[in-house]
Each structure stands twice: as C-alpha cells, then as structure tokens.
Structure 1
C-alpha cells in the first residue's frame, strides 16, 4: 500500500464510541493500512456523546465555516480533529449543532431513531466530500463503513460526478449486519432530489429501510466487503446479483491479508 491514499468514512469508530462490529473494523482497517505504508484520512460524525476534552478534539478553523444546503436549509459545517495516540492516526469529525450536539448517536433514551437521521446522513456525506475538497487530497480508495455513511457512494457518483478530485477514486462499501429498525424519513427521496440527483437513481429509497439504504450504497460502489457473517438474506441476494468484486466475510483475527489482497488485486487493478 506504499503511498496509496485511502479515505475511510465511518458512522462509528473506537475509541470515540463503544466497541461494536462497525466501530472496531472502522479502526482496525485504517490502522492496518497505516502500518503498511498507506496514507489515510478518517472521517466520522461528531456525536454529542463523544467526550471532546478526554479525546482532545479541537476545531480546525480553516476547514470550518462553510454552509451545506440540506433540503433548502443552510446548515453550518464545523470540522474538528483529534489523534488516536497509540497509532498516530488523525481523525476528522463532521459537526453541526443542529444535527450532532445531542448526547446520543442514532436513537433517543427510549431507543427510538431520531426523526432527522436522514438529514444527518445527507449532511455527513456532503460534509466529508466538501472537507476533502478543501484538503485537496485525492484518494485512491474511499472505504465506507456504517449506515450513516451509506449515502456517500450515491453522492460521489451522482452529485459530485464531475469533481476531478475523485475522478480516479474507487469506492469500497463494507456491509454489516447491524442496522436500524423501521425506516428513515419517508421524504428522504425528495431531500436528496433537492440536490439535483435524478429520482430514477433514488427508486430504491422510496422505502428507506436499512436494507434498501445499503442496496443503493452497494449499487453506487465499485467493490463490496461483507463485513459480517449474519447479513440479511435480502442484502446478500442483492449483492450476489451485482457484477462487482466482493470479498466474503473474514474474521477479525485474519482480515489483514484478505483486505490487503482485495485492495491491491480487485479494487486498484
């Protein structure tokens, strides 16, 4: 991976959020690339339950300050950064008071999904791309983890299709078994269409369930990693019908060689 640039975009990441299959692989994969000579950038949402003092987050003024338009509303974008000390890995956090100040990730105290999770996902996807553009950093691979990051492939392929910075970038989507109950806001299609993305590309999101969100994500990706051994059959069947490179599930203790080979022989070929 010497010199290869890989952008990791994730809903969750240890040590900033509790350990689960998404947050752990979102940490282990960039750690592996970093230790094998690759250049990495990591992005995640700055959820309100991330302790800024303990993890020494600070705002990057030169990257903050722009507004993102979400469903005809101007939403300020704040960029914060921190380092994972033992790995010397830097993490960029996408922040906005309206979407991410609350002291929780995806659900309220009663376990109900936040009604604006759809807009939070749109804001996160656009915020990542706009920040990478400011960094003027052109990734060879964009590796996406977690459902709140899953609109990124769609936005890169449609909304940012003419952005030269990502002209050669390959998108890898890791698909996990953990999602969310029910569906996101029923108006998600209209909110994405507001950005000029044709509704034909959004047919799969008319009922924005976890499975449908991930189907659209893999449809707009260049390669797919099955990151859990208990995926919904509906998702497995959809992926099996795609003519794209797919890496079957590999357990954590033996993933490094498999992921490196997949990057080098299937994604970067």
Structure 2
C-alpha cells in the first residue's frame, strides 16, 4: 500500500447536495423538545456550507397560517383507503442565509393536524390516530417533491414520526424521480418508537408481505421506528457513545439486535449547539455579557439568579442549576424521589444552593413544591421560561444532569460554554462532551458518576462542592477550559455531509 493511500480520506469529496429534512417538529414553528432545535439548527448549518436544504413538517394549530404562503392546487396523497387530499403551505426558515434560503413546507390536513397537540394533549398523551397521521405525513413528503419538481439527493428522516419515509422510499417510491435519492434516519431517542396495533398498517397501502420484509412486526404490533431502521440506507444517532450504548441490551429498548446487525451502516454524530443563541459573549437575556477573558458578567448573573429564586445573596456559596423535563429518563426519581431522593440530603448537609427549572410528571412537580417550602437553599420554578433558562445557565456555578440515559444532551454543552461546570452521569452524549475532574492534576471539565443511584448523585455533588471550597484555582481553570471548547453545529454538519456522501457512494450513486 502506498503512503498516499494510507493517508487518503475514506470519504468522497463533498459536492453541493439537495437535502430534505422530514420531521414532526422544527423551531420556531412547532416544538416539544430538542428534536425541533436539532432539525432547524442542522438545516441552517448545512445551508451555510452551501447545500440546498428544505424542511417538511405538519401544519399544527400552533403554526400561524397567516404567516405562510399556500402552493397552488391541492396535494393528493395515496393511502390504503384511497387518495386523500391536503394543502401545502410554505415559509422561509428564520436565520437562513440570504443567498441560500431554506424553504419549509407544511402539510395542512385539518383532520390529522388541525389540533393543538403534536403527539397528544394532557387528556390524550398519545393520539389514537398517530399511526395514520404520520403515515399520511410520510407519504406526503414524496408528493410535495413531485408537486414542486424538486427531488432530493438525500431524504433525512428524524425519529419515529418520520420513520416511514425511508420505508416508502425503499418499497414504494424509488421510481418517478427518486431513483438517485438515498435515505438517512436519525434516532434522537430510542425510547420512543411509535408502536401501535398492526391493523394500522392498512393505512400505508402496501402489501402485507412488506409488513414482514420491512421490519414492522413487533410481537403482533406495528413498530414504525423498527421498520425505519430496517429500511433506511444509513442510520445515525446523536452522539458516538449513545450509538454504542444502543447496541447493548440495557439501552437498546429491544432494538439492539437490529442495530448490531446494521452496525456498518450505523454511526453516532454529536449534536451541536446554536452558538448564536447560547453564547455568554453576546447573550441579551443575561444581565451582563462575559467571556473567559472577563468573567465579571457571570458574577452579575449569579446575583440576579439568587434574587430571581429568592435565595440568600452570597457570592461565596456555590449554586447548582438544573433545567430539565421532570421524567424518569432524566434521573428525577433518584434526585427527588420522596424519602429516598438525594436532593433533600445534599441540600441539608452541604453549604450550597439549588435552583431548578422544569416541568413534567405531576408527582415530581408536587415534590419540588414541597422541597422548596421546607429548604431555604432549594428553590424550584415549575414550567419553562426561555429567559430564565439562560439566567440559570449563566448564574449557576455547577449544572446537574443525573440522566439514566442521555442520547446527546444540550444543557451540558450550554453549561460548558457559559463557564458552568457540569455534574453528570457517565452516559451517552454526556460521556462524549465531559472529561472527568482529576483532583491530582486539575484536568477535566466536569464531575462524573457511573451508577444511577441517589448515593452516587449525593457523593458526586459533595465532590464538586468540596472542590469549590478547597480547589478553587482548579475550578476556575475548569471553567476556562470548558468555555474554550467548540460545540458549534458547523463541526457536526461536516460529519453529516460526510455521512450523506458515504451513503450515496455505498448505493452506487456518484453524481
């Protein structure tokens, strides 16, 4: 082998591609979680690197029709019961490059999407017709391309609501303009798979032999994500470590066997963060901007955070921040569980303050209200407020993420960027972004623990608080080290481009 062949990149040289993002949500139009942020941020990063990007999502009631433009004529979508019709609306994604704007298409079907919730509402958390709704949406993706005469090189589907897109491409849509289109499916959270009664398969309009060939079958149910994983040309998830975890029985949610089987086509690409929005050097939502060269603004943010949370104003006491969905995945049972959670104990035993922002399971919200009334150094705000989340990130000294599993995580990257030291469980994207503190050398960017237990959380918080009072120069050095790292989407977007090109080459498509 020649020396040049040894050093040559395994990836083809990128060229301008047409990429269609198919997803159930995208900011600023519709959002329930991080998926919406990732779809739009990745699209913007790819467009800034010169690629032609379009996004397609449903039009829910939360999306204001008056701000959209309708395409001329109705859109027919083939379904199992016959053709169904909808309207297609468009808008430009805010923040798009002026010389390369991103067009967003909205599938407007009153029966399926004319409602307030995206996946459900409090009285019906998972709409009974979700399999039909997202079957219609996935098939409409192809019809929109035909209607506009725009055929993508890559159709990139996100999570279970769009997982039928690669299935339709493989089994029903290869002809008629999509002969050179490849599919990518991104897993944002393997815990959500879209499992429904198999009678819903009739909505796809495909034969029952495909039900088994495409991988829908799941213990006599229909699993949308499983079919997508079996059918997509390439699969990825949102961090390298989570990609490895999901190939194990413990984290695989019964799909680990498929992911091991498809290991050559499966990779992890770490999510980026929006460094225009989450940047202490330019952030307009905090009292005073700051940087690693001048940290005075962080002290101002701490003072404002203590005031906002009615905590005793004391710059010498460390504040631990937490912003989270209050669900089991996020470790709230181990942290706030009545009679066994660690939060009460470490707030009682240690000289610290704890500021919490979140919403979720009713028992946890009630427990936080109880803890806030009993502890002077623990205060919680139930709900979500964008301005307050920026203040928590900027004003805290530490940020706690005790997740049972964490596909990527964004808050630990926000925290590092704001000079707020993460205290995290050693899992998923947290493993990929945090280096554990070494108290002998001072190296590291955060404090990590392995076991998802109240005792492990207590001990690691105690370790961080000990370092605050006894190794302050090392703490300050960790802050600067974290703020110097690059978690921008530009870095992650390059890896997506390489994956798209690799997929096209694998499928024999060179131009």
Change (3 A) 1:180 1:112: farther
Counterparts of residues 160-199 of structure 1 (less than 5 Å): 160-161=173-174, 163-177=175-189, 180=192, 183-192=195-204, 194-196=205-207, 198=209, 199=211
| Counterpart for residue 236 of structure 2 | 225
Query: What is the CA distance between 1:145 and its match in structure 2?
Result: 0.9
Structure of higher RCO (CA pairs closer than 8 Å, 6+ residues apart): 1
- What is the distance in 2 between the residues matched to 1:69 and 1:169? 20
Query: What is the CA distance between 1:24 and its match in structure 2?
Result: 1.5
Q: How many equivalent residue pairs?
A: 260
State which of 68, 87, 93 in structure 1 corresponds to 2:106.
93
Change (3 A) 1:245 1:186: closer
Query: What is the CA distance between 1:239 and its match in structure 2?
Result: 1.2
Per-residue CA deviations over 1:202-258 (Å, capped at 9, x if unaligned) read 55345446xx32221021111111125375413344212116422224142252232
| Counterpart for residue 16 of structure 1 | 29
| Counterpart for residue 494 of structure 2 | 257
Query: What is the CA distance between 1:170 and its match in structure 2?
Result: 1.1
- What is the distance in 2 between the residues matched to 1:67 and 1:215? 27
- What is the distance in 1 between the residues matched to 2:93 and 2:40? 10
- What is the distance in 1 between the residues matched to 2:111 and 2:88? 14
> 5+ residue gaps in structure 2?
1-13, 273-486, 506-511
Change (3 A) 1:72 1:108: same
| Counterpart for residue 3 of structure 1 | 16
CA contact (8 A) 1:118 1:185 kept: no
Structure 1 runs of 4+ off > 4 angstroms?
Answer: 178-182, 206-209
| Counterpart for residue 227 of structure 2 | 216
* TM-score (structure 1 length as normaliser): 0.86
- What is the distance in 1 between the residues matched to 2:267 and 2:158? 14
CA contact (8 A) 1:224 1:244 kept: no
Q: Secondary structure at the match of 1:187?
A: helix
- What is the distance in 2 between the residues matched to 1:5 and 1:177? 26
| Counterpart for residue 109 of structure 1 | 122
State the superposition RMSD in angstroms. 2.4
Change (3 A) 1:248 1:136: same
Change (3 A) 1:80 1:208: farther
Counterparts of residues 37-76 of structure 1 (less than 5 Å): 37-53=50-66, 56-61=67-72, 64-76=73-85
CA contact (8 A) 1:189 1:202 kept: no
Change (3 A) 1:123 1:8: same
Change (3 A) 1:245 1:83: same
Change (3 A) 1:182 1:217: closer
| Counterpart for residue 46 of structure 2 | 33
